[in-house]
Every structure is written in C-alpha cells, then in structure tokens.
Structure 1
C-alpha cells in the first residue's frame, strides 16, 4: 500500500475494470494496438511519435532541472477547452505543450520559477503574467494553480531543504518510494476516489513526475529507478481518447452521448472513475501482450513499460489530432489531470 486503506493504481484499475458498467475493455483492440506499437520498434527502442515540441521541454543541463520537472508536473492538469476558439495557447502551442512553453519563457525572462522558495511566495499577478497566452484566453483553473504552487513550494521549503532533489535522494533510486514520498507530503497529488466501497487511486501527476525524471535523465543520475516498471500509465482525458480510437476501450451509449454533448463529467463519479481505471488496466494488459510478443518473436528492444506506452499514446494522439478529434474525450474540471 502506498497509503493506508487505499488500493494502489494497478490494483485499483483491476478492481474498477471488474465492476465497470459504462466502460469495456476489448482484447481485439489491445491486439490491434500491440501490432501498431511492435511496428514502431526500431534500433532496440520504441519510437515515440514526433510532435515538434522539443524546444519547450525542461532543459536537461539546467542547474535546477529536477525542480523544473517538479513544478511542471505540479501544474500538469486540465488544459482542455469547450471550443477551438477558446484554447489557451503560448507561442502557438496548446495543452501541456503550452504549459512547457510558458515555463520555458518564464525561465528565459528571468522568473526564478524553478525555485520553490521563489514560487511559494510568488504574487498572484506575477503568476498570472507567467501564464499569459497568445490571446485573451487564460489557462484553465488559474486560481487552483496559484494555490498548488504556493502549497508545494512551502512544503519543499519547510520539509525538504527547498528543493525536490531532497525527495529524490530520500527515495534511494526507487520509483515507488518517490511516489510514496510525493503523495504522503503533497496533498494536491493525492489523486484518489471511492468506487463501489473501495478506496482507489490513480496518482496521475505523481506517477508522471517520477516517469518524467526517468525519461529526461534517460534512466541515469536523478532519473535512475530500479523499479520504474511498477509505474502505471497516467490516467488523464487524452490517452483514454486514443484507446477508444484503437478500439481498446468502448463506452456505453449513454456515456458516449454525454461526451458528444460536452456534458461535464464530475471528478469522483462512477463514469469518470471507470474511464480512468479501465484505461490503466487496459495499458497493463497491453504491456503484458507487448512483452509476450517481443519474447515470442525475439525482438531486440531495451525496455517496454507502462510509462513508455503512455508517452507513445499521448504523442500519437497529438500527431494524429485531426483524425482522433472525431471522437469525444471526457471533460472533468479538477487539479489531478
């Protein structure tokens, strides 16, 4: 258990998928997606679709790269809009890439946004300025973002010597240890719910924080975790959309009607929990299918884990956005994803 009486994400997902009524997992879709991903393996690696956003990502050589990733994933939630004309954009980027672009620009313009001591006391108007977009459209949930910035910055200053590096050191190269440190000490990362009487968890932002460290540092130094394969996919609103596109997930007629009509799905409702839980479980099943296929066909590949699968699917969605946009995604206002 990561937290007392709360099922961890993989176990939560199994329980949810076994009881789900509005969402189904289809093995035919898993097989189809498996073949798609097998064809994307080259040079011992799973090739992630290019999305032309590398210029906005955290800088590996920056002296506060670890804290840069932490502040990015602290703010990594809710970028959707109800219409194309209402999208928050930064230097032409949308969604999460717009967040990266805003933070990149802030660092370039002299804002010490990677310093917990700085952003724990950062005035509201300065934070709003950092997230100023290309138009009058504002980043969603700006007040919540101000609140979580102040919250996590204060905790890092008070408990961890003013840097997330202290948390990573305390984790002692364990992804699960780091995940536990994050959810125990930072309330805004406690992505949990109650489903059919069970306390379940998803920990989207906490898990992607660990995985982003692993990915940026290429599994070395600050990103070395011997148990990174214990991390599940990061249950948001975009990866489920691409899972539906590949036929891995199927929504009930009632749920699909709501999504097509832009009905908000409340955080913590059974529909939302089933979408996220079945997404996690389907990717765990996909991971096993991929690993079996790789072994069976003796394909030479370094690693296949749920984090890489998530990165692949998320980038696939962005690269094929026009085609996949024909399918609706669930819209939930919350700080967890």
Structure 2
C-alpha cells in the first residue's frame, strides 16, 4: 500500500528501485571512502544558503521568486547547447532569466503577467536563441528553429500553465498563494513540509514529478522538494511558524542528471557496461527505465550516505537536503570546468597585444554605441540585436576594460562619480557569485552578466510599455532613465543584503550610499 505522505512516497520508491535495479548499483565501500576523505570546511562552504542580490519589497515577493526559480529548475539536458549558444549552463540560464524578469517587472512577477507572457518574451528574457541562420545554397540563407527552442517552449508552458491555475485560485502571485497555504492558524502541530508538498503536487502539474520503472510507479518530486528546502533554509529563522518544517529531515536529495554524475565520479554509483558506454560516449538518456534507475538510485545512495555518516563520530552531515546542496555544487563545478576548458572566448585565447579583427570590429561598434548621444537607443540595439555576441566578447579582459572606460566617461559627463560607479559594479559582481555559488566564471563574466541584465531589463520594459526610445544627452544630466521610475533596475538590487538602491540618493549623492 502506497503511503499518502509524499516524502515517504519518494523514499519507498527509492528503496523499491534499489531492490529491483539491474544496471545501477551502490558501492558501500566507496561510500565509506568518500566519507573518510570529506572535509568539513569544504562541505560547509559548498552547502551554504544561496542568496540573490535582489531588493524584495516583502517576504511574499521573495517567496514568489524562489517559487519561480524552482518551478522551472530544469533543462540540464540542454547543457551542451546552452553553453555553446549562451555560454551558460541550465541553472545559470534560469537564474539569469528570472533576475532579468524581476528587474523588468519592478519585482512584481504576477500571475497575470506570466499568464500572458509570450514565447518570444521568454526567449528574450532568458537570452535563449530560438532561431538560427543557415545557408540553403551558396549565397542564399534562411532561418530554422534551434534545438533550444524546445527548452523555451517548456519554460513558457510551465510558467503559463502554473500561473493560470493560481490566478484562478484568486492570488496575484505565487508568493501570496504560499503565504496563504502556510498560515500558522492552519498548522496546530507546527509547519510540515509534507503538507505543503502535498498541496503543491496536487495543484501544479509541473511539481508532480512521477515516472515508471518496470511498470511500477515511482515518485521523485524533485522540484517541489527543492522549493520546500529553499524556503526552509531561507526563512526557518526569520519566519519559523511558517517555514521551520519539523519534518525537514525526511526530504531526499533533488535528483537530476548532475547528482548521478557526481556519485559516479566518486565511484559510489556503478553502472553496467552497456549503460557506462552510453554515458561515456556523451549520449543522452531518453526518459525511461535507464534514466529513472540512475536518478532514483542517486536518491537511495544519498539516503545511505547520510545514514552511515550519522553513525560516525564528529559527523557534520545533518540531512539529505544539506547534502544535496554540497553534491550539486561539487558537480556543477566539475561540469562547468569541463565547458570552460573548451570555451573559445577564454581569456588565454586572445591576448591584449594580439591583433584580432573580430574583437577590433566589436570595439568599434561598442564605441559608436557608448559615444552616441542616442545612448538609450544604442543600448537597446546592443542588447536586443547583438546581445549574445557582445556577452561572449566581453569575457575578454581587453573588451571589459574598454567597456568600463566608456561607461566611466559617460557617467562622468552626466554628474556621476565614476570611481564610485566602478566600485558599485565590482561590488555587485562579487555579490553575484551567484549568490555564493562560485561557478559562473571569473569576475569578468560576472560583471558582464549583471551589467547586461540591467540593460536588457530596462530595454525589455521599454518595449512592453512602448516607451519612446528617445536619445539621452548630457544636457539631461540627472533626469535620465534610471530616475524616471522608482522601481528601476538599480532600485531592485542589493549588495551584501543591504538595500542601498534608492535612485534619488544614488544619483544625488554620487553613490555615497555604496557600502
């Protein structure tokens, strides 16, 4: 008989798969070897709470952001294509898009907005190309869909479907809905993760993560468990009556294709020769027995690891949730380093004293953009037309240096303190170590990401609101587009958890508020 507790359903499924697994086995000797070599400082540094540098107007608004982040936390199967086209992995792409959405909507990502969002909106906000040019015959070109269009369609479908459901329930956003569900007056025995998960799974199709293995129904519930874990880690101390879940230790890891890869790396998961050949050749696992077996055996392996760790003296692994963050970060570092080694825009490939026609042409284009009085129009064209190529080029030290020089000169003309502006960008860049996950690349890439998000978000909102793309000259001085809206992108960012982005103070005091 299947339990009605979703957390027990996942654990029972993992045990059943382990008992009937043929191609994936758990090596307990390797578990002990792994625990012998695990260092506490490394573990704690990679399992710490993730924070985003955003200025939320309320707890509900932050909950809304976390809800969306975990709702569309998928796409790892497109990792190769994303790195090739966007120079980002799946998780980085989702973070990037949601931060841009948050900024462009003044922090108010409502169910009404999401229920009306278009496929093109999603592609632009997440900076995912859906079409590519190809040569039909010499000199004749046409366009076709990219493999990433399917990912954009999936994100669009989940956002639209989920928001329509919650909008019909009468809630302005997902944060308000979660706030209602977790009302302490409805939880006399304290908040339970299982209660929240049950409601979410039964209401939002994207959270109902189930599959079949040898005709047996298997419960995985990856995204919904991740959401509950994120809410627990973020709010257990500040809003304990809603999110300090008493059954948090019953959650399992949130398995995707990263965790099985890390466990194989440590020798904890052993796969059959046939499956190993397919995995090592880079072939994709299609949905079915192999994929389910690998994912769910990763769940069971982590259950065993945490259980064995708790029998050891001086144990520092508290539960599966915490262990998941460590393993995932460890795996993401390994995977990202593999892609970084093949990145054709790696700094070492283009030295500052080398002649490179493409880079020089790009510098000329950027100079025209930044020097032009039509600054805002230039930025619009820069982000909407040349966005992908610019970002790749910015990763080069030479390009970044030029970009910061031009921005410094521009802001000096309109009354900004240029040194404070540069410090602002660098501080923001440091905070964006995605929010304490040091995987996005070097400081150059981080700086570019945040600058690009700010610019793209502003341009996106201009397009939505049909704001005239008028030029911005030095005579406009401090009456520029950053101060025209109190919810401009700069208002919506935080550094080191300090809300410092009141635009009037930012402009009038020459960034003196910068910490």
TM-score range, shorter chain: 0.7 to 0.9
Q: 1:244 aligns with which of 256, 261, 264?
A: 264
Q: How big is each residue's C-alpha offset from its partner over 1:27-67, in whole Å with a ceiling of 9 and x where there is no partner? A: 01211222344x2259xxx513289x967x37474530001
Shift of 1:23: 0.3
Deviation digits for residues 138-174 of structure 1 (CA, Å, limit 9, x no counterpart): 5751111111101110111112523334335424421
Identify the residue that residue 290 of structure 1 maps to in structure 2.
309
- Counterpart position of 2:14: 13
Matches within 5 A, 1:268-287: 269-287=288-306
- The superposition leaves residues 196-229 of structure 1 with CA deviations (integer Å, 9 ceiling, x where unpaired) of 3321110111111111111222554153211111
Distance 1:4 1:216, change over 3 A: closer
Superposition map of 1:37-76 within 5 A = 37=38, 39-40=39-40, 46-49=43-46, 57=52, 59=54, 61-63=56-58, 64-76=61-73
Cα gap change, 1:54/1:279 in structure 2, threshold over 3 Å: closer, same or farther?
closer
Q: Does 1:186 align with 2:204?
A: yes
Matched, 1:200 2:218: yes
Report the CA distance shift for 1:26/1:276 in structure 2 as closer, same or farther (over 3 A): same
Other-structure match for 1:162:
172
In structure 2, the partner of 1:261 is 281
Pairing partner for 2:75 from 55, 72, 78: 78
Question: What is the SS of the residue equivalent to 1:161?
Answer: coil
Question: Structure 1 residue 314 and structure 2 residue 328: aligned?
Answer: yes
CA contact (8 A) 2:47 2:322 kept: no
CA distance in structure 2 between the aligned counterparts of 1:50 and 1:8, rounded to whole angstroms = 25
Paired residue secondary structure (1:199) = strand
Within 2, Cα distance between the matches of 1:192 and 1:270? 13
Question: Structure 1 regions of 5+ residues with no counterpart?
Answer: 326-337
Q: Which residue of 2 aligns with 1:334?
A: none
Residue 6 of structure 1 and its aligned partner are, at CA, apart by: 11
Q: Distance in 1 between matches of 2:212 and 2:93?
A: 32
Gaps of 5+ in 2: 133-145, 340-515
CA contact 2:7–2:251 (8 Å) conserved in 1: no
1:2 and 1:180 in contact (8 A); partners too? no
Residues 58 and 208 of structure 1: is their aligned pair in 2 closer, same or farther, counting only changes over 3 Å?
farther
Change (3 A) 1:298 1:257: closer
Provide the C-alpha distance between the structure 2 equivalents of 1:240 and 1:141, rounded to a whole number of angstroms.
Answer: 22
1:137-176 correspondence to structure 2 within 5 Å = 138=148, 141-159=151-169, 161-164=171-174, 165-171=176-182, 172=187, 173-176=191-194
Contact 2:109 2:173 in 1 (8 A): no
Comparing both structures, which one devotes a greater share of its residues to helix? 2
Superposition deviation, residue 15 in structure 1: 0.3
Q: List, as ranges, runs of 4+ consecutive aligned residues in structure 1 with deviation greater than 6 Å.
A: 4-7, 134-137, 322-325
Deviation at 1:323, TM superposition (A): 7.1
1:200 is paired with a residue whose SS is: strand
Give the distance between the partners of 2:299 and 2:82, measured in 1 at CA. 31
Residues 88 and 228 of structure 1, relative CA distance in 2, 3 Å threshold: farther
Q: For 2:68 and 2:6, how far apart are their aligned partners in 1?
A: 29
Larger radius of gyration: 2
When normalised by structure 2's length, the TM-score is 0.55
| Native 8 Å contact 1:87 1:94 kept in 2 | no
